[in-house]
Amino acid sequence: MRSRHLLAGNWKMNLGPQQAKNYAHQLRETCKDLSKTDVWIAPPDVSLPGVIEELRGSPIMVGAQNVHWADNGAFTGETSPSFLQELGCAFAIVGHSERRTYFGETSPVVAKRAVGAIAAGLTALVCIGETEAERVGDRTEAVLEEQLNPVLEALSKDTATKLVLAYEPVWAIGTGKVASLDEISQTHAFIQKVWARYSLNAPCIVLYGGSVNPSNFEAILSLQEVDGALVGGASLKADQWLELIKIAERV
Ligand code: PGA
């Protein structure tokens, strides 16, 4: 269990440079003091410079939505972790289900990306989660292990502190269908059990993601096994995002 809550917003392919900068300005003005919540946002890569500039000196941390494992080289269309670090990014999301589903990212590739991010000084926010068919077919735990093992195998005691996990059931992402509180706590407990097998000597931090909004967040965050949330849709609407931050500060 983390001592502070972590609320991460994934803007996906929304908010180009100017819109993102305007939104970041609004967030900066309204999130000056955060007593028990770390707030992270992940704009699209092209919007990162403006958002980082806008949030300099603010407690809000900025990161990328994906990252390559190599520092440089012939990898057309990819982004180097050290370039992101130089720009002022604190973290990178890796292995989001949209990357796995639409861009064919496998768990070993996700592990490579996470290791590259961590080596460059970023925190890797690795997403895992089962599809609806996998949950119905009672394969959730097997799928999560298959996604987790390559990442945990690649870490050492020193690097594990730079890893944060997000459990995002694929069927709950952007659908308005949230996992039940029982499903969330049981699945997070399972993830913590897998983590414990690796003697990593670092706390296992697990966020929940999938249709989190101001009306369901308090109950989810109150679960002992939940350290925070990774939020898509509701992170794009200032009123909802600020409400989520308020809840995280209160719970
Ligand atoms: P959602 O997305 O909050 O819109 O369901 C979550 C995510 O994709 O990280």
Q: What is the pLDDT of residue 32?
A: 84
Rounded to the nearest 10 degrees, the angle between the axes of helix 140-154 and helix 181-196 is 40
Q: Give the pLDDT confidence of 193-241 residue by residue, as tens digits.
A: 999 999 898 999 999 999 999 999 999 999 999 999 999 999 999 999 9
Rounded CA gap, 240 and 97, in Å? 23
Q: Other C-beta atoms within 10 Å of 47: how many?
A: 22
Q: Give the pLDDT confidence of 126-141 residue by residue, as tens digits.
A: 999 999 999 999 999 9
Kindly tell me if the per-residue pLDDT of 19 is higher than 80.
Answer: yes
What amino acid positions are annotated as catalytic residues? 96, 168
Q: Other C-beta atoms within 10 Å of 156: how many?
A: 12
The tokens describing 49, both together, are: 């410079």
Atom of ligand 1 nearest to the CA of 12: 8
166 sits in which H/E element: strand 163-167
CA 189 / ligand 1 centre spacing (Å): 21
- The pLDDT-based confidence of 157 (bands split at 50, 70, 90) is confident
Burial class (CB in 10 A: 0-12, 13-18, 19+), 6: buried
CA 231 / ligand 1 centre spacing (Å): 5
Kindly tell me if the per-residue pLDDT of 2 is higher than 80.
Answer: no
Kindly tell me if the per-residue pLDDT of 1 is higher than 80.
Answer: no
Atom of ligand 1 nearest to the CA of 231: 3
CA 72 / ligand 1 centre spacing (Å): 30
140 sits in which H/E element: helix 140-154
As a whole-number percent, the residues of the chain with pLDDT over 70 amount to 99
Name the DSSP class of 235: G
Q: Give the pLDDT confidence of 71-84 residue by residue, as tens digits.
A: 999 999 999 999 99
pTM of the model: 0.97
Average pLDDT estimate for 8-26: 98
Contact 50, 27 (CB under 8 A): no
Contact 67, 116 (CB under 8 A): yes
Average pLDDT estimate for 39-45: 98
Sign (positive or negative) of CA dihedral 105, 68, 159, 154: positive
| Residue of 206, 208, 212 to mutate, ligand 1, most atoms within 8 A of C-beta | 212
Residue 6, strand partner residues: 38, 228
| Residue of 211, 213, 215, 217 to mutate, ligand 1, most atoms within 8 A of C-beta | 211
Kindly tell me if the per-residue pLDDT of 172 is higher than 80.
Answer: yes
Q: Give the pLDDT confidence of 107-127 residue by residue, as tens digits.
A: 999 999 999 999 999 999 999
* Rg, Å, the chain Cα set: 17
Q: Other C-beta atoms within 10 Å of 134: how many?
A: 18
Contact 147, 95 (CB under 8 A): yes
Rounded CA gap, 52 and 164, in Å? 21
CA 173 / ligand 1 centre spacing (Å): 5
- The pLDDT-based confidence of 33 (bands split at 50, 70, 90) is confident
Residues with CB under 6 A from ligand 1: 10, 168, 173-174, 209-212, 230-234
Rounded CA gap, 142 and 146, in Å? 6
Return mean pLDDT, the chain: 96
HEC secondary structure over 197-209 = CCCCCCCCCEEEE
